[in-house]
Amino acid sequence: MASKDPEYSKRYRGTSLEEALAALKQDLGPTAVILGTRRIRRSRWLQWIGFSPLIVELLASPGTSRLAPSGDSAPVSPPDPEPARPLESVADQKEKRRIREEIDSLKGLTVDLMRHRKEHHLGRLPEGFYHWYRRIVELGIPTDRAAELITEFQRGWGGRRDPSKEELLGPLIDTLVRGIRFAPGVEPGVRGSRRFVFLGPPGMGKTTTVAKIASHLRLRHGADLALLSIDTRRVAAAEQLRAYAEMLGVPCSTVRNEEELSEKIREYSSREYLLVDTPGLSEGDADDSNWTASTLGRLEGSESFLVLSATTRLASMEPIFERFRPLGPRKLVITKIDESVTGWGLVESVRLFGGGLSYLSFGQNVPEDIVLATHESVGRVLRAVGGYDRDLS
């Protein structure tokens, strides 16, 4: 049944959505668009004499081809109370929403079930091992990875059957550190490149890292070096690097194009070391990415470090590693360890990176607050950020 409405629209009713749609399609055809829907409850009297308690009402208008008036006058556009929706999507909208909710619910149940099974299994471990499972999750290692680590650790345990948590601390840290791959830093006496490029997203501490390493080389080893910045956007970073260079008595330049870059590479070719600071690359920074890639191409035989803050969430790290992989960094510098409350996540960071860990950096003191990554130094850092030792150095 249809009832006349304002111009260009009609109302269609039925005891169900399908019945109202059928009437609408028969009258207006498949090009019709639905402008509104509602459910109407019939009076008790009509229900008593046999009518259904609810009816569905659709407000619809024909397609544009049905709206032009006859004659030579221009077509008149109908009013558009709300964006027109395809006829087919209206009938399916509620069902699709229900299916999505059920899928989300099932996903949540599956995750909860898996977590419950793992927790149940781990709960059977001796108290000391279960304590460390919960503790390393708090310190930044994902639950699935923590379960694997503690299970493997318990299987290889050769001590008492029911050790205390204090008894397990040292051996657990040793186990975690043994799983880390290390890579040499910028050190005198280490064979290899003498040109080093420091890459990373914005705000990771690249410039401070360059300054710390430069100070270490100059003040402790008397190295002959030069600093180069290709960051043309952050004026403050270039000025900061130049200030450190003046204190160290070494040359420092900022280059803005290929010509200046080639000139400085030739000028600094006799230096023992060249350390290069780069712009912080965010997702979508095509110009800076291309400029950085071009610089790497001209610095033949250079080595690249990726600088990453310990405060970076693990969920954000994999996209960062993917973004920088084309630039070829094989060494990792983890900074701002003193600011992180989940510092044990650095173990997982190195595993996801796939290369080697070279430096650990903490604090703003130059050059003191940076150490080469070794089994011993990482062990000290894990103890310190876990609250078991206050000394990070």
What is the per-residue pLDDT across 66-86, written as a single tens digit (0 to 9) for each?
A: 444 444 444 445 555 555 445
pLDDT at position 58 is 80
CA distances from 263 to 26, 253, 296, 344, 365 (A): 78, 11, 15, 44, 33
User: 202 lies in a domain?
Assistant: yes
- Cα–Cα dist 212/362, whole Å: 11
pLDDT at position 359 is 94
**Structure tokens belonging to residue 255:** 């280059």
- Cα–Cα dist 254/293, whole Å: 17
Helix orientation angle between 87-122 and 127-138, rounded to the nearest 10 degrees: 140
Please, what is the end-to-end C-alpha distance for the chain in angstroms? 83
Asked, as a colleague might, if the bond just before 367 is cis with ω within 30 of 0, I would say: yes
The domain of 45 spans: 2-63
Examine the domain organization and report whether 255 and 359 are in the same domain: yes
Examine the domain organization and report whether 160 and 207 are in the same domain: no
pLDDT at position 389 is 60
Examine the domain organization and report whether 159 and 298 are in the same domain: no
3-state secondary structure of 391: coil
Examine the domain organization and report whether 284 and 316 are in the same domain: yes
CA distances from 276 to 11, 220, 327, 373, 387 (A): 71, 20, 14, 21, 35
The last residue of one of the domains, among 124, 144, 178, is 178
Examine the domain organization and report whether 379 and 244 are in the same domain: yes
Examine the domain organization and report whether 173 and 287 are in the same domain: no
What is the per-residue pLDDT across 129-167, written as a single tens digit (0 to 9) for each?
A: 888 888 888 888 888 888 888 888 888 787 777 777 788
The single-letter code of the amino acid at 69 is: P
Q: Is the pTM above the cut of 0.95?
A: no
User: 332 lies in a domain?
Assistant: yes
The last residue of one of the domains, among 149, 178, 207, is 178
Half-sphere exposure of 81 (CA within 13 A, CB side): 11
CA distances from 211 to 131, 165, 176, 183, 253 (A): 41, 40, 30, 20, 14
Provide φ and ψ at 209, rounded to 5°. Answer: -65, -45
Please report which residue ranges of the chain form alpha helices under DSSP H: 17-28, 44-48, 87-122, 127-138, 143-155, 165-178, 206-215, 221, 235-248, 258-267, 286-298, 314-324, 345-353, 375-385
User: 93 lies in a domain?
Assistant: no
pLDDT at position 114 is 47
Examine the domain organization and report whether 288 and 330 are in the same domain: yes
pLDDT at position 151 is 82
- Cα–Cα dist 254/84, whole Å: 56
CA distances from 320 to 102, 115, 200, 309, 343 (A): 33, 28, 8, 12, 18
* Short-list 39, 77, 31, 30, CA closest to 57: 39
Q: Assign residue 246 the CATH number of its domain.
A: 3.40.50.300
The single-letter code of the amino acid at 290 is: N
Examine the domain organization and report whether 368 and 244 are in the same domain: yes
- Cα–Cα dist 83/63, whole Å: 14
pLDDT at position 42 is 64
Residue 358 and residue 185 in contact, taking contact as beta carbons nearer than 8 Å: yes
> Domain tally for the chain?
3
User: 288 lies in a domain?
Assistant: yes
Examine the domain organization and report whether 113 and 204 are in the same domain: no
Q: What is the DSSP string of 147-161?
A: HHHHHHHHHT--S-S
pLDDT at position 118 is 47
User: 184 lies in a domain?
Assistant: no
User: 22 lies in a domain?
Assistant: yes
Pairing of strands 273-277, 252-254: unpaired
User: 26 lies in a domain?
Assistant: yes
* Short-list 381, 375, 341, CA closest to 356: 375
The last residue of one of the domains, among 63, 82, 108, is 63
Examine the domain organization and report whether 156 and 228 are in the same domain: no
What residues of the chain score a pLDDT lower than 50?
Answer: 1-4, 6, 65-76, 84-85, 87-88, 112-118, 120, 392-393
